[in-house]
Amino acid sequence: MSEQRSTLALADCDPAVLTASRHPARVIPGYVIFVGVGLGGPLRLTLAGLKAIEEADVIVLNPGVDEGLLDEPEITTPDRAVTVVADDHPDLDKITTLVQSGLSVVWLLAGDPLMDAEAASYTSELRANGCRIDMVPGLSRLSLAITSTGITPGPGFRLWSGSAAMSGDGESFVALLPDQQADDIIAHAEQIGLPADTRALVVSDYATSAQKTTPTVLGELADVLNAVQDRPSAVIIGPAAVRDPSLNWFESKPLFGWHVLVPRTKGLSGAMERRLEHHGAVPVQIPTISVEPPRNPQPMERAIQGLVDGRYQWIIFNSAQAVRAVTERLVGLGLDSRAFSGLRIAAVGADTVTALRGWGITPDLVPEGEARSEALASEFPIFDDLLDPINRIFIPRADVSVDSLVQSMNELGWEVDDVVAYRTVRAAPPAAEIRDAIKAGRFDAVVFSSASTVRNMVGIAGKPHVDTIIAAIGPATVAACEEANLRVDVVASQPNQADLVDALAAFAVKRAEQLGARGEPVRKPSLQRPRRRNK
């Protein structure tokens, strides 16, 4: 992900200016690479698509592709890349000029470039203009609709495009709305002689967390389609509309459709959000903490130099952000993980370990049990002047004091350079609609990954509604919730983000079983009748 990416409308793009600022010396023409991105989200991109974006000079977003896709942590855009937003009638002469100037133009399209026909309307003119064309297939709307619905097409299954004739004898067909008109679909089914009791499925908002599958019959199809008009929907008519319950994998996810609030450090996203999506939830990130450089950078600069010069025997990381603060400084100096050669490394917390492994580093010491500095101190070795050539430890940290850890290290005989590597400040309040949704209970759950996220979210956005399920990562976070008079419903079995989300999913399964056993409808927490919550 690049923080330097700039965005402009294709209509406002001057190819000459853009080319001069990027690669004025190139003489070999580039390519237009059409990349299918599915229906949103980086996990629906192929590896080839990710690679094309990573090497792009210009990234064109077709209508229907969210610019926020490029900000996802799995996607890397070059610092040089310019993002261009195209409208329904893009100026292909400008694209041609960019390509003939040697630039690589990556054009992102919803679905698949040809299965969904978005690239087809551009290729003939671009080829006529002398452009070289490449394509990266993506998940088509049709394949997403069929697979997320959980139907098996079988023999004779067809996509109805509005013109193909069908016999109607044992065949099934699917049509995608709003590309096809509801009246035309029904008229076609009747024209091929399908009876009014022919089974049908209407899948609205397919392949999204709002997906809803409605079984019906041909005679009642018009009423069902009228209720989902103007929403992306798939209509399956015929034998394939009888779905095997065991294939209902998508809508049966434990957190399907839950809107889950994720308070966290500004600009960070990834593991927790992806885990929530895996369980069917819609993660909504709310920045509660902003990370900034230390006010006085000199102690950190001296410590980094000492790290490189071999001044330390140990370095202790007690957060993933501390890892980032150190590694970003090393990168700025042109160094890599070899700078840690000879150092022993301790890490507190699973997310800290993950951040280190992202740099190819396996820590020497990770405390068992609770991920807190006190646990590390209980397992840390005593300094032995016969075995340890150096008696100094480097602890990069936030501006929040960790005096207890420093004191524990001193008691074990070590000298400590306790250095502020970054500052954490409370982020700005979220938009009014988010604050209102939090207080009104329109979020189904909130996942707190630290005590500071509890305090800061309550400070900038207010307390969650009493019907909102609250999940906490560990004892310190639970204590912060109790201080804010919030009842905790879920606690992670292990203090890491994946276990926190998995615990929430297990809670949702148990909750659904309990509601079903009482004969009550299984609704999301935000849709349940108001209930009193014990303090």
Same domain? 123 vs 26: yes
Task: Answer with the one of 139, 160, 189 that is the final residue of a domain.
Answer: 139
Higher-confidence position of 253 and 426: 253
Q: pLDDT tens digits, residue range 267-287?
A: 665 778 889 999 999 999 898
**398 and 298 in one domain?**
yes
Based on the domain organization, do 491 and 374 belong to the same domain?
no
Per-residue pLDDT at 50 = 94
Is 1 within a domain? no
* 310 shares a domain with 273: no
59: domain CATH number is: 3.40.1010.10
Considering the domain boundaries, does residue 532 fall inside one?
A: no
pLDDT tier, 161 (very low <50, low <70, confident <90, very high otherwise):
low
Structural domain ending residue among the three candidates 406, 425, 444 = 425
- Please tell me whether residues 367 and 352 are part of one structural domain: yes
Whether 403 has a pLDDT exceeding 80, the answer reads no
Q: Specify the pLDDT at position 533.
A: 46
Q: Is residue 409 part of a domain?
A: yes
- Same domain, yes or no: 303 and 420: yes
Structural domain includes residue 385: yes
Q: Which of 82, 104, 139 is the last residue of a domain?
A: 139
Closest alpha carbon to 255 in 522, 534, 530, 532: 522
Q: What is the pLDDT of residue 330?
A: 92
| Residue 262 banded pLDDT, cuts 50, 70, 90 | very high
Is residue 253 domain-resident? no
25 in the same domain as 135: yes
Alpha carbon separation from 14 to 33, 166, 285, 507 (Å, rounded): 20, 50, 35, 54
Which residue shows structure tokens 């009642």? Answer: 220
Q: Give CA–CA dist 100/111, Å, rounded.
A: 27
Whole domain around residue 230: which residue ranges? 143-247
Domain contains 533: no
The CATH number that applies at residue 270 is 3.40.50.10090
Pair (514, 397) in one structural domain:
no
Specify whether 148 is located in the same domain as 131: no
- 159 phi-psi bin (left φ>0, alpha ψ -120 to 50, beta other): beta
Q: What is the rounded distance in angstroms from the CA atom of residue 69 to the CA atom of residue 77?
A: 11
Q: What is the CATH number of the domain that holds 223?
A: 3.30.950.10
Residue 171: pLDDT band (50, 70, 90) is confident
d(CA 66, CA 59): 12
What is the rounded average pLDDT of the residues 406-429? 90
Q: Are 471 and 447 in contact (CB under 8 A)?
A: yes
For residues 71 and 48, state if they share a domain.
yes
324 and 241 in a single domain? The answer is no
**In total, how many domains does the chain have?**
4
- Residue 353 located in a structural domain: yes
Do 127 and 208 sit in the same domain of this protein? no
Which helix (H) or strand (E) segment holds residue 40: the answer is none
Task: Give the pLDDT of residue 535.
Answer: 42
Q: How confident is the model at residue 370 (pLDDT cuts 50, 70, 90)?
A: low
Residue 534, domain member (yes or no): no
For 341, residues 6+ apart whose C-beta sits below 8 A from its C-beta are none
If you average pLDDT over each of 14-23, 344-353, 362-371, which comes out highest?
A: 344-353
Q: Is 289 left (phi over 0), alpha (psi -120 to 50) or beta?
A: beta
Of 502, 506, 508, 468, the closest CA to residue 488 belongs to: 468
Residue type, 321: Q
Give the pLDDT score at 230. 79
